[in-house]
Amino acid sequence: MTRLEKTRDLVSRHKMALWARFALRATVVTAAIALGALVFRDLDLSSDLSYLDIAILSGSQHGQYHATVERLAQSAAEQDGHIKNLESQGSSDNINRLIAARKTCEIQFGLAQDGFDWAKYPELQLIGRIGRTEALLLMGKNGDAIHRITDMRGMHIGVGPKGSGSAYLAERLFNGMDLTFLNIYLEHYSLKEQTSLAAAGTLDLAMYVMDEDALLIQSAVRDQGLQIVSLDQAEALARRFSFVNYGTLAAGQFDPVRILPPVDKKLLRLDTLLLGNGCASHSNVIGLMSVVARNHPKFIERNRTAQAPTDLILSESARGFFENQGAEFADEYVPWLVDIMPPSNWVYTIMAVSLFFNLAGFINTHRLALIDLNRVGLENDITLLFGRPVSNDEIRLYEPTRTGHTLDVSKLDKLIAAYRRHLQRCRHQSLSILSPLGEEMGYRDQEIIMTATLDALRALRSRLAGDAEKD
């Protein structure tokens, strides 16, 4: 075979080898893609609320609070979440039961109207204001004739069941305004009962704290003829009590044909608060808030800039939800990870770990450089000891009598001791926590070099000691 034929044959075999490598790589890539498709074909990256399992105290079965929580429960169920709607006697009952449930954590959340002295309940946390503001409604047969608080002198007012939120608020408002001289009598009945008593004239007024569109209010106005009181001092009262606001109920809102109410009514308004007792995990708080935000589009906007009621602390999980304007990626897709530690803390933790390893790498590099520098210094001492650069083999076979150079044995001993100390320091630093995994080989290389030199120096010292004994 000629040289040209050999060259052509070599090129041909090289091309075949290249094509074989290409085919092998293509096969591996295709297999990897197929395997990935097989593994991830059933992977669902959509988020759900299967981790959400909570209980919320609402209110009476036919009340607005109960209906609000029921809508949230239905919305959560659409994403495999579970919200248990617990009937209660209202705001005061919810607050007391929430605090009592801290021992067992069987209940995590509850609704309550604002206006309570929250300093008495440090165990509670604010999750957010929910729904529309509630109206404080005073209704009676002659409600249209009442425009000032002094017009209520000597009246009997039904304020709801004893211990209810409306009863608590009535005590705080009327007693807090030094109105005892008006001799107003606050009486306790169920909401339906006080409506009937007011319609019959037995009660002068009936007080409610609820959404003005509630069926109970609409029926009382349309069917039972109760009239809504319009307080001229509503704005002044709102300034005096930080937990209330004021607004207007439009004329004809309940019946545009008969125009009920006949004129605009000035009302006091309160927020409905979603409270937690600290039992819920971070993921459950975020899951609940996601459901609330989906059902109440203005929930985030309303709570972002609003201050928490006096002496009521906003939950840290809720604060993060409002600041991020919703749930973060980790909150939706890896809630179990967020329960271990909030996302912001994970970021700081990763940064701290990264900084630690970078710092450890810098310290390790610096220490390794010092070891190498000291080793070079010891090699320079060897050169000074022998009067010239010598290899390890030359050290082992060194004969002072042949070279005519006088070897200082004491300096040789010091040099051996220095090598031993430096070798021990190198081994100790290679095992240090500051030595990154996989970077030990730099220390091992130094050890190999120094060990070989130390062995040569020891061999020479042993031979010199043997010669001295013979003499």
Give me the phi and psi of 109, to 5 degrees please.
-140, 165
**Interatomic CA distance for residues 234 and 244, integer angstroms:** 10
Q: Which tokens sit at 383?
A: 């050169």
Residue 176's pLDDT is 63
SS3 112: strand
| pLDDT the model gives residue 43 | 46
| Residue that is last in its domain, among 340, 361, 395 | 340
DSSP state of 145: G
176-208 confidence digits (pLDDT tens): 666 777 888 999 998 899 999 999 999 999 999
Any domain includes 142: yes
What mean pLDDT, rounded, does the chain reach?
84
Looking at 245, 270, 295, which one is the last position of a domain? Answer: 270
Residue 14 maps to a domain: no
Give pLDDT, residue 4: 56
φ, ψ of residue 241 in degrees (nearest 5): -115, 115
Q: Which amino acid is at 176?
A: G
pLDDT per residue as tens digits for the range 113-154: 998 889 999 999 999 999 888 899 999 999 999 999 889 999
Is residue 3 predicted with pLDDT exceeding 60? no
103 plus 190 within the same structural domain: no
409 and 447 housed in the same domain: yes
* The token pair that represents 14 in the structure block: 């090289």
- What the block records as the tokens of 199 is 């319609």
Place of tokens 């009262």: 237
Give me the helix-helix angle, 343-386 and 409-430, nearest 10°: 170
Q: Across residues 310-331, what is the average pLDDT?
A: 85
137 phi and psi angles, rounded to 5 deg: -110, 130
Instruction: Tell me which of 340, 363, 395 is where a domain ends.
Output: 340
The structure tokens 């500051």 sit at 434
What pLDDT was estimated at residue 352?
81
Q: Is the pLDDT of residue 434 over 80?
A: no
Could you give the CA distance from residue 103 to residue 115 in angstroms, rounded to a whole number?
26
In eight-state DSSP terms, residue 305 is S
Average pLDDT over residues 84-99: 92
Tokens of 202: 């037995």
Same domain, 295 and 256: no
| Arithmetic mean of pLDDT, 376-386 | 88
Cβ neighbours of residue 8 closer than 8 Å, sequence gap 6 or more: none
What's the CA gap between 430 and 440, in Å, rounded?
6
Distance in angstroms (rounded) separating the CA atoms of residues 197 and 430: 89
Q: Picking from 65-79, 357-371, 372-386, 392-406, which range would have the lowest pLDDT averaged per residue?
A: 392-406
Whether 459 has a pLDDT exceeding 80, the answer reads yes
* Co-location of 229 and 253 in the same domain: yes
Task: Please say whether the beta carbons of 130 and 272 come within 8 A.
Answer: yes
Find the range with the poorest average confidence among 31-45, 341-355, 379-393: 31-45
Find the CATH number of the domain harbouring 58: 3.40.190.10
The vertex-419 CA angle with 424 and 464, nearest 5°, equals 130
| Residues sharing a CB contact under 8 Å with residue 282, sequence separation 6 or more, in sequence order | 317, 331, 335, 338, 339, 342
Q: Are residues 258 and 281 part of one domain? A: no
Q: List Cα–Cα distances, 319 to 235, 303, 307, 316, 468, in angstroms.
A: 30, 9, 11, 5, 84
* Domain total of the chain: 3
Q: Is residue 201 part of a domain?
A: yes
The continuous run of DSSP H or E covering 335 comes out as helix 335-340
Cβ distance 70 to 85 under 8 Å?
A: yes
Range with the poorest average pLDDT among 127-141, 303-317, 319-333 = 319-333
What is the pLDDT at residue 266? Answer: 93
CA distance 366 to 192: 82
Closest CA to 392 of 343, 439, 350, 450: 450
Bond prior to 342 in cis (omega within 30° of 0): no
Give yes or no: residues 313 and 363 share one domain: no
Residue 276 scores a pLDDT above 80: yes
Sign of CA dihedral 205, 208, 211, 213: negative
Do residues 400 and 350 both lie within one domain? Answer: yes
Angle formed at CA 226 by CA 220 and CA 231, multiple of 5 degrees: 115
Is 4 within the bounds of a domain?
no
- Residue 34, domain member (yes or no): no
Same domain membership, residue 208 and residue 81: no
Is 8 within the bounds of a domain? no
CA atoms within 13 A on the CB side of 419: 25
Q: Which is higher by pLDDT, 210 or 400? A: 210
Q: Please spell the DSSP secondary structure of 80-109, one letter per residue.
A: T-EEEEE--S-HHHHHHHHHHTTTT-S--E
Q: Which of 18-27, 267-276, 366-375 has the lowest mean pLDDT?
A: 18-27
> Rounded to an integer, what distance in angstroms lies between the CA atom of residue 205 and that of residue 227?
9
Quote the percentage of the chain above a pLDDT of 90. Answer: 35
First to last CA, the chain: 75
Structural domain for 397, as ranges? 346-470
pLDDT at 233 over 60: yes
Predicted local distance difference test score (pLDDT) of residue 98: 96
Same domain, 115 and 144: no
Is the domain of 351 the same as that of 424?
yes
**CA dist 213 → 133, 174, 285, 299, 338 (Å):** 11, 25, 29, 19, 39
Does the pLDDT of residue 228 top 80, yes or no? yes
Summarize pLDDT for 249-274 with one digit per residue, the tens: 999 998 888 999 999 999 999 999 99
Dihedral over alpha carbons 443, 448, 449, 454 (to 10 degrees): 120
Q: In this structure, are 423 and 460 located in the same domain? A: yes
pLDDT higher than 80, residue 453: yes
The answer to whether residue 457 is domain-embedded is yes
- Within-domain flag for 291: yes
Flag whether pLDDT at 10 surpasses 80. Answer: no
Q: Which two tokens stand for residue 10?
A: 């070599």
159 shares its domain with 218: yes
**Is pLDDT above 60 for 281?**
yes
Handedness of CA 276, 281, 284, 289 (dihedral sign): positive
